[in-house]
Amino acid sequence: MADPVAMTQLEVADYDLGLRGKLVRSAKTRPGSSLAFCTIVYGLSVTDDVTDTPFSSADNGYPDAVLVPDESTRIPLPWRPGTDAVIAELVDADRRPLDLSPRAVLGNLTAGYAELGLAPVLGFEYEMWIFEASDARSTVLPGYAARGRTENAYSLTRGAEIHSLATEFVNRMDQVGIEVEMFHAELGPGFFEFTLAPEAAVRAADNAVRARQYLRDLCAERGLHASFMAKPFADKSGAGGHVHSSLTRDGVNVFSDGAGALSAEGAHYLAGLLNGMADTSVMLNPGINSYKRIDPEMFTPSTASWGYDDRSTAARVLLGDAASARVEHRRPGADANPYVVAAALLAAGLHGLRERLALPDPGAEPAPLPGDLGAALAQFENSTWVADLLGKRFCASYSATRRGELERYEQWLRTTITNWELHRHLEHQ
């Protein structure tokens, strides 16, 4: 019988974009077929600079690995007739997902929670910029102008301006089983936010990477560009990628004690998030620009603080309803890969649970968090616990890509004469 779908979009997790992939004849992606993908995927920057890692480099020729689709993630793409999509993992000789993959790391962490009788649930929300082509009104780069004329948060007028796009996006996500709970205007030029319904951890991250990618695709169809850059405007808010997390046991939320306070598990998990936030900052804020978003006056915390329903803190605890009790992690930027962010949260939380870490008083002086990529990378590399939970191979590979990004920026800084230097020195010296 002929395959009813002509083409399949193979989707593979990387460290920066979220998903990369190929369009392949569907018959070649079905169980029993042979697929391969280049391991260079774990060494590519957003602009395809190549960082050699200990596992994929010029020395070993950037080898292929076998690629196995996860059939539970196969979905039709109704807006692209004859095409479906499936998330696939690079695997080793034993057909186990490579431990370089952030999605595989996330799956391993959920197994660690299962050993404690727990299952983490995550809900992602993203702020993003939507631009349209117009050289005359460009305020960022030539050819990019903010979508919409006003900058009001929660503006109904701006909601009306974006209504057609937002409705089409929500409908498309419904068609592939991803629930978008909200879509609204944020405070900034062409600045909007969408929120995804909470799901089990791996499914939640799958939904997040797909929603981001499919929104970018939809915008491109309409001559628009959706950007998850952390800070394109120096004097405006940055784009957050906040994550709500809770713990369940047998499908029941156990983050609170049911009487308006944290449960023992909830307290240890939250203590882990706080204790591990500095060590995992490079996963939450992965680039040079990521740290330009950090500004407490714009609700982006610089310390590992927590509080009850307090948006000025890094960990905002919500316990009003026991069934939806959770903590909102406000440090991640929209520019961070959802799989990497989820792995950072769950690793820190699991560390707190296993070590039964004590939760500091919400009024205690919080620990400072790294303020730039170099400091965050050093904290990550010197951590005493991160590699044990994330895996040494993933940490070595991810660290190499961050160091490559930092070195490229420092090289640019050393060799570029900036406008600041010209304005300051050319005429006056």
Cβ contact 118:265 at 8 Å:
yes
Which pLDDT value is given to residue 66?
95
Q: Which two tokens stand for residue 227?
A: 């950007």
**Claim: this prediction has a pTM higher than 0.85:** yes
In terms of average pLDDT, the best of 233-242, 296-305, 400-409 is 400-409
Distance CA 416, CA 102 (A): 34
Distance CA 202, CA 205 (A): 5
- Is the per-residue pLDDT at 211 higher than 80? yes
Q: Which two tokens stand for residue 310?
A: 């307090």
- Is the per-residue pLDDT at 144 higher than 60? no
State how far the alpha carbon of 355 is from the alpha carbons of 23, 352, 367, 389, in Å. 45, 5, 19, 13
Which pLDDT value is given to residue 160?
75
State how far the alpha carbon of 285 is from the alpha carbons of 16, 124, 215, 344, in Å. 11, 15, 22, 11
Which pLDDT value is given to residue 235?
86
How far from the centroid of its chain's Cα atoms is residue 295's Cα?
19
Share in percent of the chain as helix, strand, coil (round to 5)? 35, 25, 40
Which pLDDT value is given to residue 25?
95
- Percent of the chain, pLDDT > 90? 83
Distance CA 272, CA 284 (A): 15
Which pLDDT value is given to residue 132?
82
- Is the per-residue pLDDT at 151 higher than 90? no
- Percent of the chain, pLDDT > 70? 94
Distance CA 150, CA 162 (A): 12
Which pLDDT value is given to residue 182?
94
> pLDDT tens, 215-230?
999 999 998 999 999 9
Which of the two residues, 363 and 262, has the higher pLDDT score? 262
Which pLDDT value is given to residue 152?
66
> pLDDT tens, 309-355?
999 999 999 999 999 999 999 999 999 999 999 999 999 999 999 99
Burial tier of 243 (Cβ tally within 10 Å: 0-12, 13-18, 19+): buried
pLDDT category of residue 415 using cuts at 50, 70 and 90: very high
In this prediction, residues 73-88 reach a mean pLDDT of 96
Q: Which two tokens stand for residue 246?
A: 């809770």
What DSSP string describes 326-392?
Answer: EEEE---BTTS-HHHHHHHHHHHHHHHHHHTPPPPPTTSPPPB---SHHHHHHHHHT-SSHHHHH-H
Please list the residues that pair with 333 across neighbouring strands: 240
Task: Output the furthest CA–CA distance in the chain (Å, rounded).
Answer: 79
Cβ contact 352:346 at 8 Å:
no
Which pLDDT value is given to residue 297?
86
State how far the alpha carbon of 202 is from the alpha carbons of 41, 72, 311, 389, in Å. 20, 12, 26, 16
> pLDDT tens, 172-184?
999 999 999 999 8
Which pLDDT value is given to residue 3?
58
pLDDT category of residue 24 using cuts at 50, 70 and 90: very high
Distance CA 114, CA 105 (A): 14
In this prediction, residues 96-118 reach a mean pLDDT of 97
Which of 69, 93, 56 lies closest to 13 in space, CA to CA? 69
pLDDT category of residue 269 using cuts at 50, 70 and 90: very high
Distance CA 206, CA 97 (A): 16
Q: Which backbone phi and psi does 117 adopt, to 5 degrees?
A: 75, 20
Average confidence score pLDDT of the chain: 92
- Is the per-residue pLDDT at 1 higher than 70? no
pLDDT category of residue 189 using cuts at 50, 70 and 90: confident
- Is the per-residue pLDDT at 154 higher than 80? no
In this prediction, residues 380-397 reach a mean pLDDT of 97
Which pLDDT value is given to residue 137?
46
Which pLDDT value is given to residue 2?
53
Which of the two residues, 368 and 163, has the higher pLDDT score? 368
- Is the per-residue pLDDT at 158 higher than 80? no
